Structure 1
Amino acid sequence: MEIYNLRVNHLKNPLGYKMEKTVFSWKVRGSKGKQQVSAKIRVGYSKDLVNCPLVKDTGFDPTASSLAYPVVFPLKPYTRYYWDVTVKTDAGEELTSPIQWFETAKMEEHWSSKWITCDKSSTRSPYFEKDIKMENTVKKARLYICGLGLYEGYYNGHRIGDEYLTPYCNDYNEWVQYQTYDMTEMLKNDGKLTILLGDGWYKGRFGFEGAEELSRYGDEWKLLAELRIEYIDGKVEVIGTDESWQVQRSNVTFSNIYDGEHVDDTLPESDSEPVLLCEAPKAQITARISTPVTIHEKITPVELIQTPAGELVLDLGQEFSGIFKLRVKEPYGSRIHIQTGEVLQQGNFYNGNLRTAKSEYIYTSDGIEKEIIPHFTFFGYRYVKIQGISNLKKEDFTGLALYSEIPPVGEIVTGNDLVNKLISNVRWGMKGNFLDVPTDCPQRDERMGWTGDAQVFAATATYLSDTYAFYRKYLYDLAKEQSIREGKVPNVVPAFGMEGCSSVWGDAACIIPWNLYMFYGDKAILEEQFTSMKSWVDYIRKVDDEKDGWSSVFHYGDWLALDHPVGKDERMLGGTDEGFIADVYYAVSAGIVAKTAKILGFEEEAEFYKKISDNQFTKVKDSYFSKTGRCCFRTQTALLLTLKYHLSSDEEKIRETLIGLFNESRGKLQTGFVGTPIMCHVLSEQGLNDLAYHLLTNEEFPGWLYEVKLGATTIWERWNSLDENGNISSTGMNSLNHYSYGSIVEWIFRHSAGINIDEEPFRVSANRDILAIDDAVPGFRQVVFEPVLSRELGSVQASYNSAAGVYESAWSFSDENQVTVKVSVPFGCRAKLILPQIDRKLFNDKQNPMFSDVREGVCYLESGEYCVSYNVIDMASKYSIDSPLWSLLDNKEVREAIAGFVPIDKIPEQFTFLTLYQIGEKFAGVTSRKQLDSLDKLLNQY
């Protein structure tokens, strides 16, 4: 038995985080028992939690949840606490975990230091310096620091910590973070504390607002720091920023998030300058919430290319976000120019789609061999053009991938190499855009936290990585932006001057915290965000009360869908009415607020917001549907929303119409930001798994594998970001690293692998006779395994290390008919397993533990591993005379088979959405009933 993954507030041994309460969590594996029966938490000031006095001992508590166990006790500043958990199981086992710790920051303690700055007329970034002399042997030393725009700390020339781009990105008028560093080991000797500052988001160019992009929050560098030293004799010394510090000028002459960095090592050493005192930022300074941004992967180039234009370009083989290190040894005064890009064009370097972002690094050499690494910028890139190095070798360059701490938790491998590459691309797209803020793209003059992108991808991200702490910071940002806008959620968070607001985008305020609650089972996120969630719905209500005003204002709607009647390749708005989408999401968000209020015990508010949701859904049905249930909008997205939220009185008709739309588009999606994330989920719920798999594995435009086939290593912003010849389709708005459409990976986890949690009672597919089963339990305490088989995919093997433990699900075909299904359920959890296409007579095999408890075709499982092999039944052939003609023509072998029966070249293109049977009925003499019957038997063999 092992207790592992111990966390406080979903952080591992957190140092210096904003901490108003303590919520403990843990996992168990390898036990004889199946369930935890009780647990206790002990907290103390010493690692010895047995012989030393305790701050808190909860005693064995049968209600203690390993997902989230709040323990209340007073916290003191500057204090390291040690803790452990002891678990008892239903098999009589008892085990105590390894000791863990967490340490508070300054909390409410007054800063004795002062905000300092320097003469801002120089373009050389400042080093703020202070000589440090120890009075005795150091027992404990902590540096509490905030530098604006960005800072890096050094002691005797050695870097303090391994984080980059601190103090990170937020609305600096609303809150400013400081970080805490353990400097105990560094302070063995006297030395010099040095803090280098850059422009960053605070005072550099960033945003969409023209001149306001520069120095949005301030036009001077600012520093606040305290080095707090505890000596072994008990004395405490605090060395803070004040007038005694000095300023030296660095060789960094320019730094900017968009445009890169310039370093000139030929500059003379500057004279020391006195620091200047300055006003504090407008916002209150607070302990950190951001998780660390660090180097995770080091990427070596796969090729050094001499392009047709004569350029030297390195191909790193993978698009990512971060910086680099480059070994240089060039003569004094040599100018080295480094530029980054996402794609080659006609074999040459290209960065036109970055718009105004220069995305470059310019270095002037002092003639000394060294490694150069940027300080205060980052790049989204795969290709690097380098000028000014006389004998460039690819071994001299290393890409350094930077992103926030988001430990991987989900792995999935299929029998289709292209799908596996797609999953890899989605993961890299997430890494590239999870740099403190969930950005839309990491390379052009944008890199902003668009709420719509974050919302549609949140569930996929959380299947792939532990995102709780990362999203918690983003939601804190979001709530701060709302607090100065009467509940309105700007489309971008942090806003950086963007005041627009839209449905689906703003609904992130409700959808993301609800997702986190469902995935992690910790209602603390609902408690923290409840005011934000309510205020968003209240804002909509206020706008809507003015004669249905909410549906009338501008909304992005089904952004970048392909079905708008005008716009062609440059189209951005989709063909689904934006007001309809806005009204639906208003009802959805109000419903989430109602459920949240109920969970938190606010019964009156629960009833109030449920009434809003119910009334809004009624309004949607009355406004956009005929009395017979027909939807006013004949688009894929409109019908997907209709089925997902049960808006029509005739769902079968809607289902048929949706199938017809896909047939008319030859089985191709036409959806954008609204329809794409829900599309395959809805299709599976409607029993249309074959269509969902067809969409997933389609290799033509538009589709996920189209870009994979063209060499993508992340997810594109547009379905046609590149044309079939690899030419960039637009420079106006075109990113090759945009994770939104990567939301398909949620469907692969939930349906292909079948690891499924649902906030509603589990709904069975339309083609099954099994009834609904129990409500889901948040935090993955209970899942429904319902894998969806596909001979084309061949196999799926998935693992998900949920908040409750590791679930595994795998299936594979050994031949055309026999499939093996394996699942595992972690300690303390339960699952329902619905085996696809199984003969229920096999349930009588009680020797197989999988079938020890079967009710109405559902296998009820407790913690353990399970496996069964069987011959599938009722797995219909992919092709028949009831298949639309386009699907038959797409398969070369099938096309040749039917050519002898049907004169396919005589059938007009606009009728290929019809089935062969319908064509036989519609076009007299094309084929006979007898021929169709013979053809049907032939097609069933494919």
Structure 2
Amino acid sequence: MKLSHLRTNHVKEPLGLNMSRPVFTWTAYDTPDKKQAAAQITVSLEGKTVFDSGRGEDISSLGYEAPIELLPRKRYGWTVTVWGDGGDCASASSYFETAKQDEPWQAKWIAAASSGEFADKERQPLLAKDISLSGNVASARAYACGVGIYELWINGKKAGDEYLLPGYHCYDFNLEYQTFDVTELLRQGGNTVGLALGPGWYKGDMIFDRYHDLYGDTLHAICELHVTYEDGSKAVFGTDDSWRAYPSPVTFSNIYDGEHFDANLSVPGWSEPGCKAESFGTVVYEEKVPLVARRGPKIVKKQEFAPIEVIHTPKGETVLDFGQNMTGWVEFNADAPGGSVIKLSYGEVMQNGCFYRDNLRTAKAEYIYTSDGKKRRVRPHFTFYGFRYVKVEGVEMVCPGDFTACHIRSDIDPIGSIETDNVRVNQLFHNAMWGQFDNFLDLPTDCPQRDERLGWTGDAAIISAAACKNIYMPAFFHHFIENVGMEEEYHGGAVPFYVPAPKKAKPGTTGIDVDPADFMSLPEGDMAAFDAAIDKYPELRAAVDALPEAERADFAVKVITENFSFEHGNRKGAAIWSDVATMMPWAVYENYGDLNLLRAEYPVMKTWVERMRRDDTEDGGRGLWLRGRQLGDWLALDKPDPKDAENPFGATDLQYTASCFYFYSTELTMKAARALGYAEDAEDYAALSQKIRGAVISEYFNPDGSFKIEGTQTACVLSLFFGIYPKGKKDVVLEQLKSRLRAKDWHLDTGFCGTPFLCRALSDNGANDIAYTLFLNDDFPSWLYEVKLGATTVWERWNSLLPDGSISGTGMNSLNHYAYGSIVDWMYRNMAGLCPSEEKPGYKRVTICPMPDPRIRSVKMEMDTASGLYKVGWRYDGDKLRYNIEVPFDCTADIMLPCGRIEKVGAGSYAFDDTL
């Protein structure tokens, strides 16, 4: 027996991860034994055992929480021993290191003093301090945070392998600090610690209307360095007003527009001892938002790409093609005369053989480097791009070897793969995987390239099930759900369209500093409540009083919605988008089986369902959700608008859709309550879900199973997938879906609501052949249409490009949007047939029910699940269908073949044949 994938709180060897108690996970493999008989966990600190679980039969590899109180800034070792049911045994060890926990900070937040060059608050600073170490260093840790974005430098070298720190999270509720092992960067004697700062998400332009200073108008940072000498003595150094500030050679940076670097303004040796450059002072900055240890995985460089082609366009441009649409940047060797300018422009697609970026809307997505005549390796520091193509200007002879594309994402790794005999299907799987890679950068974003890049909750909700099969997601998604919970609490139980949901500190309409919380909870149209709220702001009161009576209501709406609610109706919630509060936690639990995570996330699930129930009760308690700012079946194709070719709204009834997801979220919360043993909640939500089902059937269906509303493809899909239809009328709904598909020549026209469930609704209800038809179509609209046109990621729209390769529009047209990559869930569950069990989640027990179709001749699927490596393969071989299946240690499977054969098996390798 061997043990692998030892993780603490779902991260391998975490350094400074936020945790109150450690949760350990692992997998066992390479053993003749079938089941785990027992396991034991021990935890040690400085060579002494501080916890021993003893040998226990109920210790789960999916998540064992050790009941120990963790000390700050300590490295703990832990060992797991596993015994199999046949006597085999193995042990393995790992470690984790705590952050500061509740320990008070000795360091202070600091900023450049507002004088000299820093009188302009847009000037980006380099902060530095010389320190002296009195002995040889045994170990050293730096605990740091900076906003907007920061990098930590020591003795001329960047600390750690992370980028874009501290990442993007709800800055208005907490600021996450990072822990660095800087032992190898320090030496006895003189040292210099430096912090480079840029605007980032915190201060730079963000959101559709380019709001500036969303979270604050001052770049500031904090750093506390703890050094342990070889003789055991310790020293602590921290930021204070004795630090110095230099103007940064980064003269401009912005998430959307890119970065400008003037090498002539470089400060040689700014983070090294002996720097002689002119410096300015620093001041202590009062930061009111609490510091917490990092909650999610690091942002790191995961892969590098060389150009596959240098393109010389009809316009005379020089464009590098890196062969893959990705998130990150290009690093290059700069060797140009002093004063010359090198400009890189980033784009996703070529048009008419030339560089193109109009679909990025207002995002300039460029990097501008001004040379000082010296050779150096250049990269951005405070921004990122979504791109495949890079236009190079200012370089006379472009040498491809001088340019490297760096793919940047959160430190999460793939666990699943599917390979078929169909090249385009394989490319679609690749595209779905890369769409997730590119948009999982500290939070799940909608796109990585245009003037948006936000944590849109609807996209995250519908990709969560597929993502959990493709990539090891629990720590990343848990971090996001924690942020969802903060916003949910702030917004009265509703989940915004995107998380984080910025709240502008100074409303543009009035220019008066107010607390958004005073206005976000106001009922719409309630002028009395608005008048009461503004009484505490004399300037705002005066502005309102100066308006004509007829204009006051409009002004109130503008103040509330435009200035405090950028995410358009976030106080109301919306089906699919707000349902991330239930869909993502359940996907994580179903795929990874950790009850500790589900227990932590359950309040977020419950709060959202209770918000909908409150709305329902206020509307008469019929069991329908009739409120919210609904986007419905977003980007569906069944409601064309001749006046607006990019119309994003589908034809499916908005309130029907909302009520269906009201039911679905209630069902998922009921299942979570059952798993956690919350019997009273489970019974309550079971009753509520049945009430909702009955109400939806009564309101939207005729007794014969036909719809009272327009029975769109999506309306039928939601009915079948959620099981909402009159008793005995499932086949009637299925026939309506078939009829709708037949009318479209067996093509889909679904959007965000219907697409994730479309093929599953068909395959699970006896129409697997139609599911394959939709899946294998390669003309518009279909998944393979974009593959045929050369896509390397999933598009936002079914027709982002037209058949001739021209872009269909620029208003909302990303070529790297993962939402429709949700088809991967069907590929795992139905095509390959691997389905986790709700009773024993995390793939401890599965159903393996492959659903082949002769249009695909072979499938090979592997998934390195939380319980171990599953393999499912099938292939057509003459008059036979041959299956090869592997089930990992400590798991059981119900294998159900299309011929009706059922096998109940444990760990092992199995081969079956079906005669056609």
TM-score when normalising by structure 1: 0.86
Q: Which amino acid aligns with 1:258?
A: Y
Decide which of 82, 86, 91 is 1:96's aligned counterpart: 91
Matched ranges for 1:89-488 at <5 A? 89-97=84-92, 99-118=93-112, 119=114, 120-122=118-120, 123-189=122-188, 190-210=190-210, 213-267=211-265, 269=267, 271-280=278-287, 282-488=288-494
| DSSP 3-state at the match of 1:504 | coil
Q: Alignment RMSD, CA only?
A: 1.4
Structure 1 268/705 Cα, relative in aligned 2: closer, same or farther at 3 Å?
closer
The corresponding residue for 2:525 is none
Equivalent in the alignment of 1:566 = 641
Task: Find the partner of 2:872 among 809, 817, 823.
Answer: 809
Q: Distance in 2 between matches of 1:678 and 1:43?
A: 44
Name 1:771's counterpart in structure 2.
none
Q: Does 1:798 align with 2:875?
A: no
CA offsets per residue over residues 337-363 of structure 1, 9 Å max, x none?
A: 111111111111110010111100111
CA displacement at 1:829 relative to structure 2: 0.1
Counterpart for residue 8 of structure 2: 8
Tell me which residue corresponds to 1:60. Answer: 55
Q: After TM superposition, give the deviation of residue 277 of structure 1 in Å.
A: 1.2
Cα distance per residue 1:541-585 (max 9 Å; x no partner)? 222223268424431111000111535632211111010010011
Deviation at 1:716, TM superposition (A): 0.5
Q: How far apart in 1 are the matches of 2:613 and 2:783?
A: 37
| Counterpart residue identity of residue 895, structure 2 | L
CA–CA distance in structure 2, aligned partners of residues 474 and 730 of structure 1: 31
Secondary structure at the counterpart of residue 551 of structure 1: coil
Give the partner amino acid of 1:56. Answer: F
CA distance in 1 between counterparts of 2:394 and 2:847 reads: 59
Correspondent of 1:671 among 750, 754, 762: 750
Question: Is residue 636 from structure 1 mapped to residue 699 from structure 2 by the alignment?
Answer: no
Determine if contact 1:630/1:648 at 8 Å carries over to the other structure. no
For residues 467-866 of structure 1, the aligned pairs below 5 Å read: 467-496=473-502, 497-498=566-567, 499-500=569-570, 501-547=573-619, 550-566=625-641, 569-632=645-708, 633-649=710-726, 650-759=729-838, 776-815=839-878, 817-837=879-899, 857-866=901-910
Q: 1:631 touches 1:648 (CA, 8 Å); kept in 2?
A: no
Range 282-291 or range 467-476, more displaced: 282-291
d(CA) in 2 for partners of 1:268 and 1:54? Answer: 51
Counterpart Cα distance in 2 of 1:53 and 1:546: 59
Shift of 1:232: 2.4
Instruction: Structure 1: give runs of 5+ residues left out of the alignment.
Output: 47-51, 760-775, 839-856, 873-942
Contact 1:328 1:389 in 2 (8 A): no
User: Matched residues in 2 for 1:700 and 1:732: separation?
Assistant: 23
Alignment partners' CA distance in 2, 1:267 and 1:106: 37
Q: Secondary structure at the match of 1:779?
A: coil
> How far apart are residue 698 of structure 1 and its match?
0.4
Q: Contact 1:144–1:225 at 8 Å: present in 2 too?
A: yes
Query: What does the per-residue CA deviation read over 1:254-305, in whole Å, with 9 as the maximum and x for residues that have no partner?
Result: 111001000011237551111111111x321100012111111101111111
Contact 2:20 2:69 in 1 (8 A): no
C-alpha displacement of 1:196: 0.5
- The 1-side partners of 2:187 and 2:278 are apart by 29
Whole-angstrom CA distance in 2 between matches of 1:786 and 1:733: 39
In terms of mean alpha carbon deviation, does 221-230 or 640-649 score higher?
640-649
Give the C-alpha shift of residue 610 in structure 1. Answer: 2.2
Contact 1:797/1:809, CA 8 A, preserved across alignment: yes
Q: Give distance in 2, aligned partners of 1:233 and 1:326.
A: 44
Contact 2:626 2:655 in 1 (8 A): yes
- Percent identity reads 42
Quick check: 1:319–1:381 contact (8 Å CA) kept in 2? yes
Answer whether contact 1:150 1:168 (CA < 8 A) is retained.
Answer: yes
Q: 8 Å contact 1:165–1:293 — kept in the other structure?
A: yes
For 1:791 and 1:609, locate their aligned partners in 2 and report how far apart those are by CA, in whole Å: 43
Contact 1:128–1:248 (CA under 8 A) maintained in structure 2: yes
Give unmatched runs, 5+ long, in structure 2. Answer: 268-276, 503-565
**Matched-pair contact (CA < 8 Å) for 1:380–1:443:** yes
TM-superposed deviation, 1:835:
1.7
Give a deviation string over 1:778-800, Cα, whole Å, max 9, x none. Answer: 11101111111122111000100
**Worse-superposed segment, 57-66 or 494-503:** 494-503
Q: CA deviation at 1:676?
A: 0.5
Deviation, structure 1 residue 154: 1.2
Letter in 2 for 1:54: T
Shift of 1:403: 0.4
For residue 725 of structure 1, what is the amino acid of its counterpart?
D
C-alpha deviation, 1:23, in angstroms: 1.2
Letter in 2 for 1:216: L
| SS across alignment from 2:184 | coil
State the match for 1:846 in structure 2. none
Give the TM-score taking structure 2 as reference length: 0.89
Q: SS where residue 261 of structure 1 aligns?
A: strand
- Cα distance in structure 1, aligned partners of 2:694 and 2:34: 45
CA distance in 2, matches of 1:534, 1:558: 24
User: Which stretch of structure 1 is more off in the superposition, 455-464 or 563-572?
Assistant: 563-572
Q: How many pairs were matched up?
A: 828
Q: Tell me the amino acid that sits aligned with residue 768 of structure 2.
A: N
For 2:97, give the aligned amino acid. Answer: E
**Residues 1:370 and 1:53: Cα distance change in structure 2 (over 3 Å):** closer
Q: Residues 336 and 374 of structure 2 are in contact (CA less than 8 Å); yes or no, is this contact kept in structure 1?
A: yes
In 2: Cα distance, 1:130 partner to 1:522 partner = 44
Q: Distance in 1 between matches of 2:145 and 2:464?
A: 30
Paired amino acid for 1:306: H
